[in-house]
Amino acid sequence: MDKPRIRWTLAILLGLACGSTPAQEPLSRAQREGKVVIYANTDQSIVQPLVDDFEASHPGIRVEYHDMNSTELYQRIVAETAAGTPHADVAWSSAMDLQLKLVNDGYAQPYRSAQTAALPAWASWKSEAFGTTYEPAVIVYDRRALSADEAPDTHSALIRLLDDQPERFRHRIASYDPERSGLGLLLHTQDAQANPTAFWRLAEQMGALGLERHVSTEDMLDRIAAGKVRIAYNVLGSYASKRAQQDSALGVIWPRDYTLVLSRVAFIMRDARNPPAARLWLDHTLSVHGQALLVKNLGLFSIRTDNDADTATAMLRARLSHAFRPIAIGPGLLAYQDQAKQRAFLRQWAEATRSPL
C-alpha cells in the first residue's frame, strides 16, 4: 500500500475512533476556532446574505467581516504581516492586480478542494488565488438628464457626446481615482490596454470638464441619484444594476464595443489564524449554493459553468457577444504593480485629467 493511501486509511481510523469522519473534522476544528476573519472591499450590507447563510450552515463559526476599500485592504495586510500581527484569514477584493501581487509576494497559502477544482482553469492561479464572480465595468447615467436615445452605448459615442455638448457635462462627470483606489487603478490600466486611443481621449475630455474622482462605485451612484453627476465612467456593474432596480433615475450601459469584466479574487492568508474556517468560507463561496446566493442577492454573475446560476453568466456572454472582455487571473495583472510602470501611468493620467484653470 502506498504512503498516501496509508495516511488516508489512518485518518479514517482516527476519525472513527474519535466519533467523526474526515469530512467532519475540518468543521469541528473550525468550530473550535469559533470564527473566520474576512478582509473585503465588498460592502457588508450587500454581502450580508452570504455571511448569514455561512453562519447558518456552519453553527459555531462567526464571520468577522471587515469592509474597506481595496487600497486599504492591501496596505493593512502588508502592514499587519510586517508587524507580526496578521489578523485576516481570507482576503477578498475586486482589485485583482493588488490581490495577485499579494499572492505573488507570498501572502497566500495553497488550497485545493472539489470546489476550487470546479472553477474554470483561468479563474485559479497557483491554487492560491481564486476568482469568485464575473462583474462588468459599465457606464451609468442620469435618466432624468439624458434620454435613452442619447445615452452613449460605445466608447466612441461617449467621446462624441462630450465633444458635442461639453457645457452640458461640465462638472457633471465622474470616475474612479486610480491614485486612491486599487480597483480604479485596475479598471483604468486594463481599459488603457484594451483601447488606448479611446481611453486617453476620454481621460482628456473628462479632465477638461472637471472630472470628479471617487474611491467607490457607491459614491458615484449617490452623486448621480442626487442629480450632481450625469455620467459615471468605469463603474462596477454589479452595484449599479442592483441600485438601478431600486432607483429609476439610474441608467446602466454595457458598452457594446467592449466591456471589461473583472472577478473578485479571494485567497487564504499564509498566516491565517483560523485556516480550517477560512477553507470552509472559500468552499462555501465557490459552491453551487454560494454562487447562487451571489447571483440572487448581490447582482453578480457566477464564475462556475456547472450550475443553474450559470444561466445568468450565459446571458452576460450572449448580451455582450464580441464585446465580452474578461480580465484573466494571472501574471499579466502584475504589469502595473511594477512601481516604475505604475508611476508612469499615474503621471500620464494626472496630466491627461488636469482640470483647466
| Cα 46 from Cα 48, distance rounded (Å) | 6
Amino acid symbol at 245? Q
Q: Residues 155-196: pLDDT tens digits? A: 999 999 999 999 999 999 999 999 999 889 999 999 999 999
**Pairing state of beta strands 124-125 and 129-131?**
antiparallel
Q: Going edge to edge, which strands form the sheet with 35-40?
A: 62-67, 35-40, 90-93, 265-268, 129-131, 124-125
pTM beyond 0.85: no
Mean pLDDT, the chain, integer: 87
How much of the chain, in percent, has pLDDT values that exceed 90? Answer: 69
- State the greatest distance between any 2 C-alpha atoms of the chain, in Å, as a whole number: 79
pLDDT at 28: 79
Mean pLDDT of the 302-307 span: 73
How much of the chain, in percent, has pLDDT values that exceed 70? Answer: 87
| Residue 334 burial by Cβ neighbours in a 10 Å radius (0-12, 13-18, 19+) | middle
Q: What's 135-261+336-352's CATH class?
A: alpha beta
pLDDT at 325: 77
Closest CA to 225 of 144, 138, 136: 144
Domain with CATH 3.40.190.10 in the chain: 12-132+263-318, 135-261+336-352
- Would you say residue 89 has pLDDT above 70? yes
Q: Output 192 or 42, whichever has higher pLDDT.
A: 192
CATH topology of domain 12-132+263-318: D-Maltodextrin-Binding Protein; domain 2 (3.40.190)
pLDDT at 3: 42
pLDDT winner (highest mean) among 167-171, 312-316, 328-332: 167-171
Q: Residues 103-142: pLDDT tens digits? A: 999 999 999 999 999 988 888 999 999 999 888 899 999 9
pLDDT at 81: 97
**Pairing state of beta strands 90-93 and 35-40?**
parallel
